[in-house]
C-alpha cells in the first residue's frame, strides 16, 4: 500500500449533525476514509427536529443578500456562501432524490416537508462512500496526537473536524460541554439565538392567552421592522417575527437591562383608516367586542391592548394598536433557543476553518461564532461551513503529502517557497 496515498488517511468527524455530515461527505468523495463519532445513539437528531416544521433548507432570495443575514459574521460568511451557495444546497438535496419547492415566503423546502427521507438517503450515500459511524462515542478531548473518549478508548486521526454544535436543544446532544475541552482556544460566550423573550405579563393575561398565536403583526425595534407571526407564551413571546429581531434585542437587553419592542396589531391598515374605524361611538359594546368588530383583532390581540391599558398606557386607541409597547426583560434560556450565538472566535480560524493553534483540527457549524435568523439561513450556513472544512481537510492532507514527497535535506523536509 502506498503510504503517501490520500486513501491511506483517516479523518475523524466529532459530531453527526448537518455540518459534520456535510464535512464527511466532502472528504469521503475524495476517497479518504472518514469516521463519524456521535455521542448520541443516532446521528442527525437536530436535523430531524428541524424537519418537524417542514425542514427549511435555504432561501430563494438572491445570494448577494445572504451575507447580511449573518450580522457581524457577514464578511466572513460571504466567502463560504460563494463556494457553496443556496443553489448548490438545492442541487445536493435533489441529488438525494428529494425534490424541492419555494414557499410563498421565499423559503425552500423538500417536497416531502420533513427531514427523515432526506436523512435516510444521505446516510445511505455516506455508507456507500465508506463512511463509518461510531455512536454513543462521547469525545473528551486530546491526548497528544490522539482523540480520547468517555469509554477510555483512544483513536488516532490524520485530521479532525469538530462538529459538536452549540448549546441549544441539549437533549439532542448539543450541550456546549465542548467549551471546557478547548482551553487554548478563544471562545465567545454561548448565548441564545432565534429565541423568545420574557415579558412580565399579568396573571390574568398569562392565564387567558398563553399559547395563542398572532397570525399577522409587525414588530419594530430601533430601525428594524419585521412582519410575521408570533406566539404568546406564559412568560413572554416567541415565534418567527421575534426570532428575526432576536440578535439586536438580546444585545440591547445586555446593554440596557431591557428592550422596548413595539407591535403593530393592524399592519395592513393605515393609522388614518384605523382612526376613522375607531372614531364611531362604542355605545354599550365592550372594548373587546368593539376592537373585534371595528379593528378585526383576535382575542389575544385584544388582550394585549387591555394589558397595555392596565399598565397605564394613555395613547388613543388607534395609535396604540399601531405601536403597542412591550417591555422585554430577558431572552429565554439557551436550552430553549432554536440556535446558539457565540462559539469559537472567527479569528481563531484560518480561511479553511482550521484552528490556528491546533493544525489539522477544523471546526464547523454552530461551534463557531456566527448566527442567523430562521428562514433557511441557519442550515445554509451550517452546510457551507461543512463543505469549507471538508475541502480544508483535503488541502491539509495534500499539502502534507506533497511535503512527504519532497527531497529530504539536512534541514528537514524541503518545502517550496511558493507554497
Last residue within a domain, chosen from 280, 297, 331: 331
DSSP-based three-state secondary structure for 397: helix
- pLDDT at 407 > cutoff 70: no
Last residue of a domain, which of 331, 364, 386?
331
Same domain, 349 and 308: no
For helices 377-405 and 74-83, the axis angle rounded to 10 degrees is: 70
**How many domains does one find in the chain?**
2
Q: Are residues 179 and 102 in the same domain?
A: yes
**Do 263 and 172 share a domain, yes or no?**
no
Residue 370, domain extent: 6-192+339-405
* Dihedral Cα 92, 374, 163, 127, nearest 10 deg: -30
User: For residues 210 and 77, is the Cβ–Cβ distance under 8 A?
Assistant: no
Q: Please give the pLDDT value at position 1.
A: 36
DSSP at 407: P
Q: Output the pTM of the full model.
A: 0.90
The CATH number given to whatever domain includes residue 107 is: 3.50.50.60
| Residue 414 resides in a domain | no
Q: pLDDT for 115-136, tens place per residue?
A: 999 999 999 999 999 999 999 9
Would the CA dihedral through 202, 225, 336, 214 be positive or negative?
positive
Shared-domain flag, residues 319 and 364: no
Do residues 139 and 21 share a domain?
yes
Same domain? 260 vs 386: no
Q: What is the pLDDT of residues 27-78, one digit of tens each?
A: 999 999 999 999 999 999 999 988 887 899 999 999 999 999 999 999 999 9
**Is residue 42 domain-shared with residue 171, that is, in the same domain?**
yes
Domain end (from 306, 331, 356): 331
Predicted confidence (pLDDT) per residue in 292-303, tens digit: 999 999 999 999
Helix (H) or strand (E) holding 38: strand 33-38
Question: Based on the domain organization, do 67 and 140 belong to the same domain?
Answer: yes
H/E segment holding residue 291: helix 287-295
For position 404, what pLDDT does the model report?
Answer: 62
| Residue 382, phi then psi, degrees to nearest 5 | -60, -45
Q: Is residue 296 part of a domain?
A: yes
First vs last C-alpha separation in the chain: 28
- The pair phi, psi for residue 298, each rounded to 5°, is -75, 165
Amino acid at each position: 500500500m502506498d503510504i503517501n496515498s490520500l486513501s491511506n488517511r483517516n479523518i475523524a468527524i466529532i459530531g453527526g449533525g448537518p455540518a459534520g455530515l456535510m464535512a464527511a461527505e466532502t472528504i469521503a468523495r475524495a476517497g479518504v476514509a472518514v469516521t463519524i463519532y456521535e455521542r448520541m445513539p443516532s446521528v442527525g437528531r437536530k436535523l430531524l427536529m428541524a424537519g418537524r416544521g417542514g425542514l427549511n433548507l435555504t432561501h430563494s432570495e438572491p445570494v448577494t443578500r445572504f451575507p447580511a443575514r449573518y450580522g457581524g459574521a457577514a464578511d466572513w460568511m460571504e466567502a463560504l456562501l460563494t463556494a457553496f451557495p443556496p443553489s448548490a444546497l438545492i442541487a445536493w438535496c435533489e441529488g438525494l432524490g428529494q425534490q424541492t419547492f419555494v414557499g410563498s415566503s421565499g423559503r425552500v423546502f423538500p417536497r416531502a416537508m420533513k427531514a427523515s427521507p432526506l436523512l435516510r438517503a444521505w446516510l445511505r450515500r455516506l455508507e456507500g462512500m465508506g463512511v463509518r459511524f461510531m455512536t454513543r462515542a462521547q469525545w473528551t478531548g486530546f491526548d497528544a496526537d490522539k482523540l480520547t473518549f468517555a469509554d477510555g478508548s483512544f483513536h488516532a486521526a490524520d485530521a479532525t473536524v469538530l462538529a459538536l454544535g452549540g448549546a441549544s436543544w441539549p437533549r439532542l446532544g448539543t450541550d456546549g460541554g465542548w467549551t471546557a475541552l478547548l482551553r487554548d482556544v478563544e471562545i465567545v460566550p454561548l448565548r441564545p439565538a432565534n429565541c423568545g423573550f420574557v415579558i412580565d405579563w399579568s396573571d390574568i393575561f398569562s392565564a387567558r392567552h398563553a399559547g395563542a398565536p398572532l397570525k399577522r403583526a409587525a414588530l419594530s425595534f430601533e430601525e428594524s421592522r419585521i412582519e410575521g407571526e408570533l406566539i404568546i407564551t406564559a412568560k413572554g413571546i416567541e415565534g418567527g417575527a421575534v426570532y428575526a429581531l432576536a440578535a439586536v434585542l438580546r444585545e440591547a437587553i445586555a446593554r440596557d437591562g431591557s428592550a422596548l419592542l413595539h407591535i403593530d396589531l393592524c399592519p395592513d391598515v393605515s393609522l388614518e383608516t384605523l382612526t376613522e374605524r375607531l372614531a364611531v361611538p362604542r355605545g354599550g359594546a365592550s372594548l373587546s367586542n368593539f376592537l373585534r368588530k371595528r379593528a378585526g383583532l383576535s382575542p389575544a390581540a385584544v388582550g394585549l391592548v387591555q394589558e397595555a391599558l392596565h399598565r397605564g398606557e394613555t395613547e388613543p386607541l388607534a395609535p396604540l394598536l399601531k405601536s403597542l409597547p412591550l417591555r422585554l426583560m430577558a431572552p429565554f434560556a439557551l436550552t430553549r433557543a432554536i440556535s446558539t450565538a457565540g462559539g469559537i472566535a472567527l479569528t481563531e480560524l484560518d480561511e479553511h476553518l482550521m484552528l490556528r493553534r491546533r493544525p489539522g483540527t477544523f471546526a464547523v457549524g454552530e461551534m463557531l461564532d456566527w448566527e442567523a435568523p430562521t428562514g433557511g439561513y441557519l442550515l445554509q450556513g451550517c452546510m457551507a461551513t461543512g463543505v469549507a472544512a471538508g475541502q480544508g481537510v483535503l488541502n491539509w492532507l495534500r499539502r502534507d503529502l506533497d511535503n512527504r514527497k519532497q527531497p529530504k535535506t539536512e534541514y528537514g523536509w524541503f518545502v517550496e517557497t511558493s507554497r
